[in-house]
Amino acid sequence: MVQSRPDYDPVSVGSLAFWGQRPEQREQSLKVLRDERPVSWQRPAEGSMLPQAEDAGFWAITRHADIVEVSKRPGDFCSGQGIMIEDVPESILEAASSFLATDAPRHSALRRLVSAAFTPKRVAKIEEQIADQARRIVDDLLETGDCDFVDEVARKLPMWTIYEMCGLPEEQRLPAAHAADGMVSWSDEDVRAGLQPAELLGQSLFTLSGIGLGVAEARRKEPRDDLMTNLVQAEVDGERLTDQEIAAFFVLLSVAGNDTTRNTISSAMKALTDFPDQRKILQADFDGTIGTAIEEFVRWASPVMTFRRTATRDVELHGQQIRKGDWVVMFYASGNRDDRVFDDPMSFDVRRTPNQHVGFGGGGPHFCMGNMLARTQLRAIFDQLLHRVPDLQAGDPVQVVGNFVDGVKSMPCTLNLT
């Protein structure tokens, strides 16, 4: 017998009011859910792009252990029916998500095509180039002086790294990164600048796909040693990828490679400003502490806040009857503040050990492919910042409003050079 739905939870984590709050305010609601109703039935995300059925909603998964469980059971909780907390037009989903929104066996085949470029060995090969680039960014920062940290520091290294790997010409990098921002900030009125969410998504997608296809075309004519060349030459089941598939790869790499690492850099800089004792510990022994510090940066920032799965059959989780077809949304930021797993989770601790955060996902087949690349960039940029601008202070960040990536639009900084 089909069970009737529970009432919508009184603590709503789908409303614009919830997402418009600062992360520490959102955490108050998430803590109530974690402690009292870890699997709660929620109203559909407010302001969704598509109309929702009367009884629509989603299950909010807020505990660390449940996020890991859902991530590791792709047979029961699939990605192929969408990965966002709200419904997006299918044409956009297909063109934007590439293998992120697919399931095995297609997911494994597509992921394999690019995963070789992200292995620790390959990342180690470009580590020196990333360090060089971080040095140049801080050279420029020292010339510029007090400025917007996001524009002058945080944005630059992730953008350089992913587009260098793709082989994107220099002059196209900023427009591509800007379009990637539009792909994750459709709820933010400033970013939308008068457009409807679906219009902003559509425009950003059009720009990014166009740029990706242009590079693909150039690589077909003149192959090079880069990711886009790999993609135009790759075959799945004996067939070359279509233009649409190549464009979707480029969109996914652009979005995943830019916004996540940028926001982690901004958020970590703010945390190092707000917790000077932790900065001192890191500065006193950078090489000995940066490994654990990076994990804490990612836990603290939790730049990817949510990902959705869809139940492929009726399942029970914490006494809740989840029906086949129900949406199940993992709240990574909540899992990363779960005191069942983290001692004193609200304290920023650069030596935190162990630190089994779910910032890169809860494990399973979709675990972040760029995690080593992100860690390498974080090490390189903080090596430069903490040694060469040791007293840099971050001001108040202006957050992007949204239910997907926790973005920092701008954040003033003062260098305090002596």
Q: Which residues contact ligand HEM by CB under 6 A?
A: 71, 99-100, 111, 162, 252-253, 256-257, 260-261, 264, 298, 303-304, 307, 332, 359-362, 364, 366-370, 373-374
Nearer to ligand HEM, 11 or 257 (CB): 257
Nearer to ligand HEM, 100 or 247 (CB): 100
Helix, strand, coil abundance in the chain, percent, nearest 5: 55, 10, 35
Nearer to ligand HEM, 173 or 366 (CB): 366
Contacts of 227 by beta carbon, 8 Å cutoff, 6+ apart = 114, 117, 165, 166, 167, 253
Q: Are 321 and 329 in contact (CB under 8 A)?
A: no
Nearer to ligand HEM, 188 or 295 (CB): 295
Peptide bond into 276 cis (omega under 30): no
Smallest distance, ligand HEM to C-beta of residue 6, A: 26
DSSP 147-177: EEHIIIIITHHHHHHHHHHHT--GGGHHHHH
Smallest distance, ligand HEM to C-beta of residue 281, A: 21
Q: Are 362 and 71 in contact (CB under 8 A)?
A: yes
Smallest distance, ligand HEM to C-beta of residue 415, A: 24
Collapsing DSSP to helix, strand or coil, 417 comes out as: coil
Nearer to ligand HEM, 260 or 334 (CB): 260
Both tokens of 232, joined, read 């135009």
Q: How many CB atoms lie within 10 A of CB 246?
A: 24
Nearer to ligand HEM, 11 or 85 (CB): 85
Nearer to ligand HEM, 19 or 118 (CB): 118
Q: Measured on CA atoms in the order 34, 40, 44, 46, is the torsion positive or negative?
A: negative
Nearer to ligand HEM, 156 or 366 (CB): 366
* Cα–Cα distance measured from residue 33 to residue 88, given in angstroms and rounded to the nearest whole number: 26
Nearer to ligand HEM, 361 or 407 (CB): 361
Q: Are 57 and 96 in contact (CB under 8 A)?
A: no
Helices (H), 275-398: 276-284, 286-301, 332-335, 371-388
Q: What separation, in Å, do the N-terminal and C-terminal C-alpha atoms of the chain show?
A: 72
Smallest distance, ligand HEM to C-beta of residue 194, A: 30
Collapsing DSSP to helix, strand or coil, 42 comes out as: strand
- For residues 237, 239, 244, 246, the Cα torsion angle rounded to the nearest 10 degrees is 80
Smallest distance, ligand HEM to C-beta of residue 3, A: 28
Nearer to ligand HEM, 212 or 359 (CB): 359
Smallest distance, ligand HEM to C-beta of residue 58, A: 16
Smallest distance, ligand HEM to C-beta of residue 122, A: 12
Residue nearest to ligand HEM (CB): 370
Smallest distance, ligand HEM to C-beta of residue 416, A: 27
Smallest distance, ligand HEM to C-beta of residue 97, A: 8
Smallest distance, ligand HEM to C-beta of residue 253, A: 5
Both tokens of 367, joined, read 């675990």
The Cα-based distances of 390 to 107, 173, 220, 239 in angstroms read 44, 29, 46, 53
